[in-house]
Amino acid sequence: MSTIEVRPETYPQKEVQPRVVNDFSIQVATVNGSGSQTANTVLMRAIFQMGVPVSGKNLFPSNIAGLPTWFTIRASKYGWIGRKKEIDFLVAMNPETAREDVQNLEPGAAVVFDEPLKLDALRSDLHFYPVPFDKLVAPVCPEPRLRKLVRNMIYDGVLARLLGIELEEVRKALYKQFGPRKVKAADLNWGAVQAGWDYAEKNFTKTDPYWVERMDATRGKIIIDGNAAAALGAIFAGVTVVTWYPITPSTSMIETMMGYLKRFRIDKETGKATFAVVQAEDELAAIGMVIGAGWAGARAMTATSGPGISLMAEFAGLGYYAEVPAVIFDVQRVGPSTGLPTRTQQGDILFVATLSHGDTKHPMLFPSCPEECFTMAQTAFDLAEEFQTPVFVMMDLDLGMNNWMSDPFPYPDQPLRRGKVLGKEDLERLGGFARYADVDGDGVGWRTLPGTDHPAAAYFTRGSGHNEKAQYSERPDDYMRNMDRLARKFETLRKHVPRPEVILNERASVGLLCYGTTRYAAEESRDQLLREYGLETSYLRLKAFPFTEEVGDFIDRHARVYVVEQNRDAQMVSLLRMELEPEQIAKLRSVRYYGGLPIDARTVTDEIVAMEGL
Amino acid sequence: MSTAVMPPKKVNRIGLEIGSYKGGKTTLCAGCGHNAISERLIECFFEMGIYPWRVAKFSGIGCSSKSPAYFLGLAHGFNAVHGRAPAVGTGALLANRHLIGLTVTGDGDTASIGLGQFCHMLRRNVPMIYVIEDNGVYGLTKGQFSATADLGSKLKTGIVNDLPPIDTCLLAIELGATFVARSFSGDKKQLQAILKAAIAHRGLSVIDVISPCVTFNDHEGSTKSYSYMKEHDVPLHELGFVPAFEDITVDMGEGEVQEVTLHDGSRLVLKKLGRDYDPTDKLNAIRTIHEAHRDGHVVTGILYVEPGAKNFIELLNLVDEPLATLPESKLRPPKEALDEVMEELR
Ligand SMILES: Cc1ncc(C[n+]2csc(CCOP(=O)(O)OP(=O)(O)O)c2C)c(N)n1
Ligand code: SF4
Ligand SMILES: [Mg+2]
């Protein structure tokens, strides 16, 4: 499952392949910190600009410079943008991993490599294109200091020539990437692209089958990562207090947000900020500030990953019991401490669902694409305030940090839903209020904000030991009444969370159930199952916990439901078990991948085929 | 509020009676120092004429942290988790910069479990009144040493503390608090003047109040007992406070007097007792506290004050209206903004 799996040593002979157009993957193997990110983004963009659906995934180490890193670009005329397991076109720039990278290729793959590495001696069933990068970079980049960075641009030129990517699109992508303020740098890099192109033109006869041809499948689309999308979503949701403690892979959400906040949330009349961003001393403080701000009426959020979630446990419980709105983005990654902090996983699902001690339950949203990061950020704030409770947006590294093609985001068409808040006039009219009384029968009480200019506004907030009037109480009946109301509130919430996406296939007795980024592998796997095995399937993609009635219905309609997820212990299956009937539970099967790379369709297909006995 | 006509009882400058500043009945032990501090807070907010509903109370967990339920019942209160009141208070003040933040916690809450948050609140100079009800022990968990227990002080069980104390005032001065004082729950006059000045101060005020735990730490061998404090309390000055709304001079009797004007125009009047002490001199403040430790004294009074420093909220350049109540038109950028970003990402 890893990209550095070692293969057996004997290879079948090189086959003659037909033209493969707009359906292959490129992997660029470089060294972290060598500045390859720009070259990779430009390459991806150029393909995108040619109208070909594309996705880019950065598989990077937890390191600033010096360790191997791989960037994978997948072009797919069918629109499959999940990870593809097989690499079709390798760009081998990293001497450390080059041999192993080449050994792992399927026969017939193509390799552009740094000439001194002599990789063409390794195998005879691949298409090799040696490029003397150092020789080519010297004349186009007189400044030796910059050569390490500019050098990577050469492979963009070589690949453009070999794959048939229009040079003009590379140029456009490159100048867009550098922006109007770095034209000089862009010029330098453009020289390198041209040098690569010229070299390829003069020296190579194309023998591999891979081609990019112009399509019209990306018109109007944007390229964005999930963290930036969530940042924008929060801004258009009217976030006012943002606290954070840096942690990969959530960091870029806040850093991107700060840029947009400065652009769009400075009050025109006064030049002052309608937001506060605080880099807290740790995640305990970050969530504490969010709870304080949410209590006082702000739309407050923090973004973190698993280790931060661990530190937030006590406050999450307080937020649940004291009924304080809060939004927490969990961009999930692998493992505690030095686990695989730069690899992806859906590993926090069970932990977050009941984070903290006691009978806590937290709503979770599962965005699967940038557009949902954008819209669900807004949903999260609305739910948090309407239901006065912490809401978790469960992203992952793959979604948060990788580049995705997306439709442009829709401008919100609903006003902000700020929930039940009594103001001065309400208090004037009512004379008073009981903070935790269920006056509307939906389990949600009315709150007041500190600072409300009225003597009857105040109430005292504490954990779970209180009666309806927010007075301290240890009486069993008060306690149970409150707990039952909280349970009722959760049931009301169930009716308001986003409903799953369901594709019912009347001919299918098998269903695939997925959530978040697992959707890409699941969707493509359905296609493989049908084309290769004739297996008809239905599909359900969860968008939220608590589960809505569609989930049980879906399971009832099928004989077997494969729950596809990216963790070892089938966490979503466990969560489903908590809410489903025994006969429904009996139908659940689990498909898991937990190697730290984004799950791929072939893995899902193979597992289902094995379990179905096909 | 309409201004009261012909008040039957004593009212303050905004027409409220002292009753409006009281809280629920205390459930702390009779004689607990914390109760006296609650009383002082009630008096000070009354006398300063502050609408109680402008105040937001914060606390962590402990006997001390329970006390916000026993004063200013007309103010919102948030009894948070152990050691984390600073974060909750900071967040609330970000949401509404016009709140008067008042945190009351314990020495365990502040100097043990919450030391990290305490330090970072200091660095930020969060505009908050932060009262540490310091009894040297964890009252609520029945009398274990806290991190402010003095070297050599003895528990009832005979256990001797052999670790040096964390001096919260030293830390506060070192790390950026702009108003730092130490007092004793038994010194009504001094504590009142300090609390009133803290209310007037626009940055972070840290007030460490030695507040004896009569149940677990008021015995022979304790350095936080009533009798120990009576013997070892060395006030730095005699304190007077003149609020900005009262244009009067105070009669401090004979002696050398120094005045410090706070940001809102209130004045601290410090009458020299024994030695010279300038509370705006940071280095001298630190030195004085160290000397007190060396000599076995507890110096009380205004240890350090820096009236002009910018607080955290001011540094953030926030709009004047509370972030919490900004209308949607100020919160959600227009469609053109989104279009602009989408165009850039194409
Ligand atoms: C996370 C956590 N750990 C431990 C406790 C138990 N606990 C409650 S109060 C307290 C100590 C309080 O001491 P202090 O802040 O000095 O307050 P005092 O009771 O002395 O006024 C402890 C350890 C808790 N509530 N939460
Ligand atoms: S145990 Fe100590 S600190 Fe707690 S209320 Fe009693 S006297 Fe006060
Ligand atoms: Mg204590």
Task: Give the model confidence (pLDDT) of B153-196 as tens digits.
Answer: 999 999 999 999 999 999 999 999 999 999 999 999 999 999 99
**Beta strands A544-545 and A364-365: pairing type?**
antiparallel
- Please report whether residue A92 resides in a domain: yes
Question: Backbone phi, then psi, for A417, in 5-degree steps?
Answer: -100, 105
**Beta strands A560-565 and A588-592: pairing type?**
parallel
Tell which residue, A431, A419, A433, has the closest CA to residue A383.
A419
- Please report whether residue A11 resides in a domain: no
Q: Which residue has the tokens 């009635």?
A: A549
A292 shares contact with chain B (CB less than 8 Å): yes
- Please report whether residue B101 resides in a domain: yes
Residues constituting chain A: 614
Q: What confidence tier does A272 reach under pLDDT thresholds 50, 70, 90?
A: very high
Mutate to test the pocket of ligand 2, among B26, B214, B224 (most ligand atoms within 8 A of CB): B214
What is the DSSP secondary structure assignment for residue B69, as one 8-state letter?
A: G
Cα dihedral sign for A527, A529, A531, A534?
Answer: negative
pLDDT at B136: 97
Question: Backbone phi, then psi, for A496, in 5-degree steps?
Answer: -115, -5
Q: What CA–CA distances, in Å, run from A458 to A453, B53, B85? A: 10, 7, 18
What does the alpha-carbon distance between residue A214 and residue B86 come to, in Å, rounded to a whole number? 58
Chain B residue numbers with beta carbons less than 8 Å from the beta carbon of A294 are 91, 95
Number of domains in chain B: 1
- Please report whether residue B1 resides in a domain: no
Q: Which of A494, A527, A542 is the last residue of a domain?
A: A494
B47 lies in which domain range? 18-345
Tell which residue, A58, A48, A68, has the closest CA to residue A598.
A58
Q: What is the mean pLDDT of residues B88-93?
A: 98
Instruction: Classify residue A202 by burial, with Cβ atoms within 10 Å: 0-12, 13-18, 19+.
Output: exposed
Number of domains in chain A: 4
- Please report whether residue A228 resides in a domain: yes
- Please report whether residue B291 resides in a domain: yes
Q: Is the confidence at residue A175, as pLDDT, over 60? A: yes
Q: Is the confidence at residue A7, as pLDDT, over 60? A: no
Q: Which ligand is nearest to the CA of B114?
A: 1
How far does B278 lie from chain A, in Å, by closest CA?
33
Specify whether A454 is located in the same domain as A533. Answer: no
Specify whether A47 is located in the same domain as A166. Answer: yes
Specify whether A478 is located in the same domain as A543. Answer: no
Q: What is the pLDDT of residues A374-386, one digit of tens each?
A: 999 999 999 999 9
CATH code for position A183: 3.40.920.10
Q: Is the confidence at residue B254, as pLDDT, over 80? A: no
pLDDT at A16: 54
Closest residue on chain A to B76 (Cα): A458
Ligand 1: residue whose CA is nearest its atom 6? B141
Kindly determine whether residue B324 and residue A472, on different chains, have CB atoms separated by under 8 Å: no
CATH code for position B28: 3.40.50.970
Verify whether ligand 2 is closer than 6 Å to residue B200 (CB atom).
no
Q: Is the confidence at residue B313, as pLDDT, over 90? A: yes
Kindly determine whether residue A272 and residue B322, on different chains, have CB atoms separated by under 8 Å: no
Residue contacts between A and B (CB atoms, under 8 Å): 224
Q: Which ligand is nearest to the CA of B64?
A: 1
Tell which residue, A331, A326, A338, A307, has the closest CA to residue A252.
A331
Most A-contacting residue of B99, B119, B342 (CB-CB within 10 A), to test interface: B342
Specify whether A270 is located in the same domain as A197. Answer: no
A447-467: buried (b, 16+ CB within 10 Å) or exposed (e) per residue? bbbbbbebbbbbbbbbebebb
Q: What is the pLDDT of residues A388-421, one digit of tens each?
A: 999 999 999 999 999 999 999 999 999 999 999 9
Instruction: Classify residue A185 by burial, with Cβ atoms within 10 Å: 0-12, 13-18, 19+.
Output: middle
Looking at the partner chain, which of A289, A412, A457 has a beta carbon nearest the beta carbon of B94? A289
Q: What is the pLDDT of residues A114-136, one digit of tens each?
A: 999 999 999 999 999 999 999 99
Q: What is the pLDDT of residues B334-346, one digit of tens each?
A: 999 999 999 999 8
| Pair of tokens at residue A527 | 């296609």
Residues constituting chain B: 346
Q: Which of A211, A239, A266 is the last residue of a domain?
A: A211
* Residue-averaged pLDDT of chain A: 94
- Please report whether residue B189 resides in a domain: yes
DSSP string of A13-81?
A: PPPP---EESEEEEEEEEETTSSHHHHHHHHHHHHHHTT--EEEEEE--SSSSSSEEEEEEEEETT---
Q: How far is the CA of B225 from the centre of ligand 2 (A)?
A: 12
Max intra-chain CA distance, chain A: 87
Tell which residue, A155, A175, A178, A198, has the closest CA to residue A34.
A155
Q: How far is the CA of B208 from the centre of ligand 2 (A)?
A: 17
Chain B residue numbers with beta carbons less than 8 Å from the beta carbon of A235 are 333
Q: What is the mean pLDDT of residues B259-285?
A: 92
ipTM of predicted complex: 0.96
DSSP string of B275-309?
A: B---TT-HHHHHHHHHHHHHHT-EEEEEEEE-TT-
Verify whether ligand 2 is closer than 6 Å to residue B34 (CB atom).
yes
pLDDT at B8: 67
Kindly determine whether residue B333 and residue A236, on different chains, have CB atoms separated by under 8 Å: yes
A240 shares contact with chain B (CB less than 8 Å): yes
How far does A289 lie from chain B, in Å, by closest CA?
4
| Pair of tokens at residue A390 | 């912490």
* Residue-averaged pLDDT of chain B: 95
Peptide bond into A246 cis (omega under 30): no
pLDDT at A11: 41
B114-124: buried (b, 16+ CB within 10 Å) or exposed (e) per residue? bbbbbbbbbeb
What does the alpha-carbon distance between residue A507 and residue B224 come to, in Å, rounded to a whole number? 79
- Within 6 A (CB) of ligand 1 lie B 61-64, 82, 105-109, 133, 135, 137-141, 146
What does the alpha-carbon distance between residue A153 and residue A160 come to, in Å, rounded to a whole number? 11
- Please report whether residue A10 resides in a domain: no
Q: Cα A102 to chain center, whole Å?
A: 29
pTM (2 decimals)? Answer: 0.95
Q: Is the confidence at residue B253, as pLDDT, over 80? A: no
Could you tell me what percentage of chain A is helix, strand and coil, using 3-state DSSP and rounding each to the nearest 5? Answer: 40, 20, 40
Chain B residue numbers with beta carbons less than 8 Å from the beta carbon of A260 are 341
Specify whether A372 is located in the same domain as A505. Answer: no
Specify whether A397 is located in the same domain as A343. Answer: yes
Q: Is the confidence at residue A5, as pLDDT, over 60? A: no
Most A-contacting residue of B121, B319, B336 (CB-CB within 10 A), to test interface: B319
- Geometric angle at alpha carbon B42, from B41 and B48, rounded to 5°: 85
What does the alpha-carbon distance between residue A603 and residue A525 come to, in Å, rounded to a whole number? 8
Taking each helix axis as running N to C, give the angle between helix A313-322 and helix A283-295, from 0 to 180 degrees, rounded to the nearest 10: 10
Tell which residue, A381, A378, A297, A241, has the closest CA to residue B318.
A241
Three-state secondary-structure class, residue A217:
coil
Specify whether A328 is located in the same domain as A366. Answer: yes
Chain B residue numbers with beta carbons less than 8 Å from the beta carbon of A276 are 94, 316, 318, 323
Q: What is the mean pLDDT of residues B239-258?
A: 83
pLDDT at B322: 98
Q: Which ligand is nearest to the CA of B135?
A: 3
Specify whether A333 is located in the same domain as A243. Answer: yes
Closest residue on chain B to A176 (Cα): B344
Q: What confidence tier does A149 reach under pLDDT thresholds 50, 70, 90?
A: confident
Kindly determine whether residue A273 and residue B319, on different chains, have CB atoms separated by under 8 Å: yes
Tell which residue, A388, A375, A278, has the closest CA to residue A326.
A388
Peptide bond into A546 cis (omega under 30): yes
What does the alpha-carbon distance between residue B58 and residue B74 come to, in Å, rounded to a whole number? 14
Q: What confidence tier does A9 reach under pLDDT thresholds 50, 70, 90?
A: very low
Which residues, at least 6 apart from B346, have a Cβ–Cβ distance to it below 8 Å? Answer: A220, A221, A222, A408
What does the alpha-carbon distance between residue A522 and residue A499 come to, in Å, rounded to a whole number? 18
Verify whether ligand 2 is closer than 6 Å to residue B215 (CB atom).
yes
- Please report whether residue B138 resides in a domain: yes
**CB-CB contact of A331 with A225 (8 Å):** no
Specify whether A468 is located in the same domain as A327. Answer: no
Specify whether A378 is located in the same domain as A434. Answer: no
Residue type, A112: V
Looking at the partner chain, which of B90, B320, B346 has a beta carbon nearest the beta carbon of A292? B90
Q: What is the pLDDT of residues A462-521, one digit of tens each?
A: 988 899 999 999 999 999 999 999 999 999 999 999 999 999 999 999 999 999 999 999
pLDDT at B3: 53
Specify whether A342 is located in the same domain as A242. Answer: yes
- Please report whether residue B3 resides in a domain: no
Closest residue on chain A to B335 (Cα): A411
- Please report whether residue B195 resides in a domain: yes
Could you tell me what percent of chain A has a pLDDT over 70?
97
- Please report whether residue A218 resides in a domain: no
Specify whether A269 is located in the same domain as A392. Answer: yes
- Please report whether residue B10 resides in a domain: no
Q: How far is the CA of A328 from the centre of ligand 3 (A)?
A: 33
Q: Is the confidence at residue A98, as pLDDT, over 60? A: yes
A468 lies in which domain range? 424-494
Taking each helix axis as running N to C, give the angle between helix A144-163 and helix A167-178, from 0 to 180 degrees, rounded to the nearest 10: 140
What is the DSSP secondary structure assignment for residue A454, as one 8-state letter?
A: S
- Please report the atom of ligand 1 found closest to the CA of residue B110: 15
A470-507: buried (b, 16+ CB within 10 Å) or exposed (e) per residue? bbebeeeebeebbeebbeebbeebbebbbebebeebee
**CB-CB contact of A506 with A459 (8 Å):** no
